Amino acid sequence: MADSKALTTRATDFSAWYNELIARAELADYSPVRGCMVIRPNGYAIWEQMQRALDQMFKDTGHQNAYFPLFIPQSFLSREAEHVEGFAPETAVVTHGGGKELEEPLVIRPTSETIIYAMYAKWIQSYRDLPLLINQWANVVRWEMRTRLFLRTTEFLWQEGHTAHATEAEAEEETRRMLGVYRTFMEEWMSMPVITGRKTDSERFAGALRTYSCEALMQDNKALQAGTSHNLGQNFSRAFEVTFQTASGDLDHVWNTSWGVSTRLVGALIMIHGDDAGLVCPPRLAQYQVVIVPIYRTDEERSAVLEASDRVRRELVSAGVRVHLDARDGMKPGAKYYEWEGRGVPLRLEVGPRDVAAGAVMLARRTGGKKEHLPLAGLPVRIIELMAQMQHDLLEASRARREAASIRNATKEQFLAHIEGPGGLVYAGFCGSGECEADIKERTKATIRVLPDEEFRSPEPPVVCMWCGRPSVAEAVWAKAY
């Protein structure tokens, strides 16, 4: 049963608001296992919509799904030096199986490069076997000390794409293509604007040549890394001897990429659109896009209203709308509104006796504004228009909010005032040195989220590093981040 106490407001305590929203909407729950969460049906339904959309986009770009083992022999992880350094400290290790101690401990996959490239070494012989474009939907485990529902949990669900190519150029093209797929998904499905670009070396994936990222700004002005795409070069193909015969008969190592997004995106969705009444879900990802609430007092009214409501429901289903008729007896309409608002359903249709008589329904938008009467004639078309509008408006509102929280060409003083004040994104010059990055992180907790792609860069390239005053080698975007 949902709690009827109002949520802590975002302004009062964003973190408390986030946790209470998840409980209220029954999206997830803490489990008895340290650091692990339970994704409840309302939360999982959003993840399923995300999976369906992304999976189709992966298939449309030529990828196939497969499944690789959960377990990775400990020795595999060690073959790529940076990779083991990055991941070994956060692994869960199986030491016993079937009642006996194992000869070699097995690591639960924190990511699957090593086990997958070991298989690719078997499967790839010739340039004719390339490109090999595989994706996996799976659970992974990274031992986390401080966890938060959806954002950082010991076990999480994700997809990981792993591809092999004949040339460096093709691998780079794939890396960028999949970053683009993520961006399209985040903007068009999640209504979440992102800045794309390259990570600095200190934020690079352990074992990658280059990591690209989609970064979004949440309502509390903290950034969130929403998806990454890695050009792995030949680092793993050398470690796992993934070679192929080229068209000219030489032997070469393949060029790999990997890319992933996770259930963290559900957390991002909550934090970018949610309001003080609960979740706000963009229509394309909502389990139910429309909820119908019948309103009646007498038995006679009840039967007329339920009949009309069900007619509306059937019409919307025929039009491909995901709709739920909430016909629960013994629950007041107001209580139903409250519950569905908390769960983020985009549109609500109220059907009362007078509406039925007038051949209309009352529409309420989850994102506010006046309620309005909609005539039953042409309702499905109107609903589909309204959803497209909401999908678009949520994106633009988030973009406007992000831009209002961004400053450009910042000096050190402006940087500090912004990061330590309201927070948000700071665009400024960067000398390229890891020491500057580390110093800034220690002083302010802010990190370089991304060296932005051209379309996100400032019209005037910065001249000096905002921190040390040396010449700038690239514009960078700083923020405190999840």
Contact residues toward its own copies (CB under 8 A) are 1, 29, 31-33, 36-41, 44-45, 47-48, 64-73, 76, 88-99, 105-106, 108, 115, 118-119, 122-123, 125-126, 128-129, 134, 138-139, 141, 143-145, 154-155, 157
| Residue with smaller CB distance to its own copies, 128 or 354 | 128
- CA 127/CA 144 separation, integer angstroms: 40
Residue with tokens 């709690």: 3
In angstroms, give the least distance from the CB of 171 to its own copies.
20
Q: Among 144, 168, 174, 172, which residue's Cα sits nearest to residue 156?
A: 144
Query: Which uninterrupted H or E stretch holds 324?
Result: strand 323-325
Q: What are phi and psi of 458, to 5 degrees?
A: -70, 150
Single-letter residue type at 298: T
The structure tokens listed for 117 are 């490239």
Nearer to its own copies, 63 or 253 (CB): 63
d(CA 465, CA 343): 45
Q: How far is the CB of 323 from its own copies (least distance, A)?
A: 15
Residue 107 Cβ, how far from its own copies at the closest point, in Å?
10
User: Residue 105 Cβ, how far from its own copies at the closest point, in Å?
Assistant: 8
Least gap, CB of 115 to its own copies (angstroms): 7
Residue with Cβ nearer its own copies (322 or 412) = 322
**Closer residue to its own copies in complex, CB, 137/456:** 137
Q: What are phi and psi of 431, to 5 degrees?
A: -80, -10
Number of C-beta neighbours around residue 40 at 10 A: 15
Cβ atoms of residues 387 and 346 within 8 Å: yes
Residue at 51: amino acid letter? Q
Q: What is the dihedral of CA 449, 453, 456, 461, to 10 degrees?
A: 90
> ω into residue 131 within 30 of 0, thus cis?
yes
Closer Cβ to its own copies, 144 or 301, answer by number? 144
Partnered with residue 38 across adjacent β-strands are 29
* Complex with its own copies: residue 45 or 431, whichever CB lies closer: 45
Single-letter amino acid code for the residue at 253: H
Nearer residue to its own copies within complex by CB, 143 or 456? 143
Q: How far is the CB of 123 from its own copies (least distance, A)?
A: 8
Question: Least distance from C-beta 216 to its own copies, angstroms?
Answer: 23
